[in-house]
Amino acid sequence: EQQKWGALKDKQTVSADGRRFEVGANVGTFADVIDAQEDGAEGIGLLRTEFLYMSKDELPTEDQQFNAYKRFVSAMNEQRVVARTLDIGGDKKLGMVALPHEDNPYLGFRAIRIGLARPEILRPQLRALLRASVYGRLAIMFPMIATIEEFQAARAILDEEKEKLEHAGIQVAKNIEVGMMLEIPAVAVMAEHFAKYVDFFSIGSNDLIQYLFAVDRGNQQVAYLYQELHPAVLRMIRQVIEAAHAEGKWVGMCGEMANNAYAVPLLMAMGLDEFSMSSSQILRVRSLINQLNTRKLQPLVHRAIHAETAAEVRKLVEEYVPQVK
Ligand code: PEP
Ligand code: MG
């Protein structure tokens, strides 16, 4: 099997009916980039920038960040690198950023909420990313956006920093795509409005499902409620993809659901454009996409959306895509 997959590495990911998909890697260190290339990634769909801040006593400087981002972006050549701005809070803590004690950290001060409240953290990161943008194909996304105002505020800071750099004679790439993680159900409900402002959405299914079912994503006791195949999740994702496509924007997914063999047929048939996952999963998913016909899967999508339970969806997928079993 590994050998058969190896042959896919240098080809594009195309479904049996000729639809092109992108399968990228989630990376958190530079070593992950090497793996991503060996494992057939077509880009980096999620660059977790937290590694620059972990186990350090001070915030990384703009130059330290610039050098790191430049290394990632250059290594990927013309392939896209989607960098996510600092996503701390929730379960991720940092020594050098003192966060208040919270009873519900997943519902509290995290991700872009920290970025907007502490521009002295967000601004140098954005400047470093902008400076690195000329070395390859960089896209930038903001984590945990909840409202249009938050996206606009983050975007305004990015535009300001860009202008300042250009004013100082420092080069910045012309067409940097600016998007957001879609991880909060309210955003999915409002996707048609967000779609006017973003260049892309990347669905963070880990958090989206956590917030949709009110189930802590790390709590084993309630894990039975964490259901990637639930029709509520599928409806939400379908709505997001349709809203984005109506505005000509693309949609990716960088949560664990993107490499769930039962979810992939549904996601590709619903029109998800990009899948991003840990490298070891990439060729398996690319091989599955190659075998499937999105047109023939439309009745599956229809039936899954109208199913009552995740168990029902699972059975339906097995019926239409017997090889997932
Ligand atoms: C997600 O929420 O699905 C995601 C990719 O982000 P993280 O797992 O880092 O919260
Ligand atoms: Mg998340």
ipTM of the complex: 0.99
Nearest ligand, CA 254: 1
Burial track 299-315 (b if 16+ CB lie within 10 A, e otherwise): ebbebbeebeebebbbe
Ligand 1 atom closest to residue 210's alpha carbon, by position in its atom list? 2
Helix, strand, coil fractions of the chain, as percent rounded to 5: 50, 15, 35
The residue contributing the CA closest to ligand 1 atom 3 is 204
pLDDT of residue 95: 80
Measured in degrees and rounded to the nearest 5, phi and psi for residue 83 equal: -95, 130
Pocket test for ligand 1, best of 141, 183, 211 (most atoms within 8 A of CB): 183
CA distance 307 to 320: 15
Residue 91 DSSP symbol: T
The residue contributing the CA closest to ligand 1 atom 4 is 204
Ligand 1 atom closest to residue 90's alpha carbon, by position in its atom list? 10
pLDDT of residue 6: 76
pLDDT of residue 207: 97
Residues bordering ligand 2, an ion, CB closer than 5 Å: 183, 204, 207
Ligand 2 centre and the CA of 144: distance in Å? 7
The residue contributing the CA closest to ligand 1 atom 8 is 206
CA distance 288 to 45: 19
The residue contributing the CA closest to ligand 1 atom 1 is 204
Beta-strand runs (E) in 10-122: 13-14, 20-27, 44-48, 80-84
CA distance 217 to 237: 18
Residue with tokens 């070891």: 280
Residue 55 burial (CB < 10 Å; 0-12/13-18/19+)? exposed
CA distance 114 to 282: 32
Pocket test for ligand 1, best of 27, 91, 145, 207 (most atoms within 8 A of CB): 207
pLDDT of residue 179: 98
Handedness of CA 156, 159, 161, 164 (dihedral sign): negative
Residues 243 and 201 sit within 8 Å (Cβ to Cβ): no
pLDDT of residue 64: 97
Pocket test for ligand 1, best of 209, 254, 259 (most atoms within 8 A of CB): 254
228 lines ligand 1 (CB under 6 A): no
pLDDT of residue 96: 83
Q: Which helix (H) or strand (E) holds 121?
A: helix 119-132
Tell me the HSE value of 217 on the side-chain side, using a 13 A CA sphere. 19
Which tokens go with 303? 């039936």
CA distance 132 to 265: 36
Residue 186 burial (CB < 10 Å; 0-12/13-18/19+)? exposed
Please tell me the total number of residues recorded for the chain in this structure. Answer: 325
Residues 244 and 191 sit within 8 Å (Cβ to Cβ): yes
pLDDT of residue 212: 98
- Weakly modelled stretches of the chain, pLDDT under 50: none
45 lines ligand 1 (CB under 6 A): no
- Gyration radius of the chain's alpha carbons: 19
